[in-house]
C-alpha cells in the first residue's frame, strides 16, 4: 500500500523543542495545528502568570504532558483547586469558571476545545484576592481560533490599564491586573 502524500504525522516532542520560546507568559499558548477545521488544539507552557478566570462556552480537555498544573475553579463564591498531575487528563464542562495555573518552569500541557459557533461568547473574570468577590467581567466573541493567541493579550492589557475596573467594589482592594497571583495562592 502506498503512503498517503499529504496526511503526515509529525514528531510532537520535536515540535515542543522548536516552539519552546513561544510557550511563555502571559498566556503561553501556541496553536498546534493551523488548519481551518475550527478545532482548537493548543500547547500551553509554564510558568503561568495569569490572574484571570475564563468562562468557556464549550468543553475543554486538558492533558498535562510535563509537570503539574492547578486548575482554579470559581463556583458559588468559593475558589476550588483541581490539581492535574503530569500524565493526567481532565474534561471540563462548558461555563465552568476556571483559571489554569502552571507554576512549574518548563511544564507543558495540551488543551483541546470544540469549534466556536458564531453566537458564542467567552467570558473573562477577575476575582479579588482579598475578599473573593468578582471584580470585573469582559465578554468577547472569539470567532477564529487564532484569536485566543492574538486577542487575549490586548484584553488583559486593557483590564490592567483600567484602575476602576481593577478596584473591588466590596472591599476596595486593587487587583494586580496581570502578573503573578499572591504568594501561596497556587499550591501543587
Distance separating alpha carbons of residues 64 and 80, to the nearest angstrom: 19
Reported as a pLDDT band with limits 50, 70 and 90, residue 49 is: low
pTM metric for this prediction: 0.89
Query: Could you tell me which residues come within 8 angstroms of residue 143 by beta carbon, excluding any fewer than 6 positions away?
Result: 116, 118
For the chain, domain boundaries: 25-166
Model pLDDT, residue 69: 96
Model pLDDT, residue 63: 98
Considering only the top CATH level, what class is 25-166? Answer: mainly beta
Distance separating alpha carbons of residues 86 and 143, to the nearest angstrom: 31
Q: Across the chain, what does the average pLDDT equal?
A: 90
Model pLDDT, residue 50: 79
Amino acid at each position: 500500500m502506498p503512503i498517503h502524500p499529504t496526511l503526515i504525522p509529525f514528531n510532537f516532542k520535536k515540535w515542543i523543542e522548536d516552539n519552546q520560546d513561544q510557550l511563555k507568559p502571559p498566556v503561553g499558548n501556541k496553536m498546534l495545528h493551523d488548519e481551518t477545521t475550527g478545532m482548537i488544539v493548543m500547547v500551553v507552557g509554564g510558568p503561568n502568570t495569569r490572574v484571570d478566570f475564563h468562562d468557556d462556552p464549550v468543553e475543554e480537555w486538558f492533558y498535562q504532558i510535563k509537570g503539574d498544573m492547578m486548575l482554579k475553579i470559581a463556583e458559588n463564591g468559593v475558589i476550588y483547586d483541581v490539581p492535574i498531575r503530569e500524565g493526567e487528563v481532565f474534561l471540563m464542562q462548558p461555563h465552568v469558571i476556571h483559571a489554569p495555573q502552571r507554576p512549574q518552569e518548563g511544564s507543558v500541557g495540551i488543551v483541546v476545545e470544540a469549534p466556536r459557533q458564531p453566537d458564542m461568547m467567552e467570558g473573562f473574570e477577575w476575582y479579588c484576592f482579598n475578599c473573593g468577590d468578582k471584580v470585573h467581567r469582559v465578554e468577547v466573541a472569539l470567532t477564529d481560533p487564532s484569536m485566543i493567541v492574538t486577542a487575549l493579550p490586548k484584553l488583559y492589557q486593557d483590564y490592567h490599564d483600567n484602575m476602576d475596573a481593577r478596584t473591588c467594589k466590596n472591599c476596595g482592594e486593587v487587583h494586580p491586573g496581570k502578573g503573578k497571583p499572591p504568594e501561596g495562592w497556587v499550591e501543587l
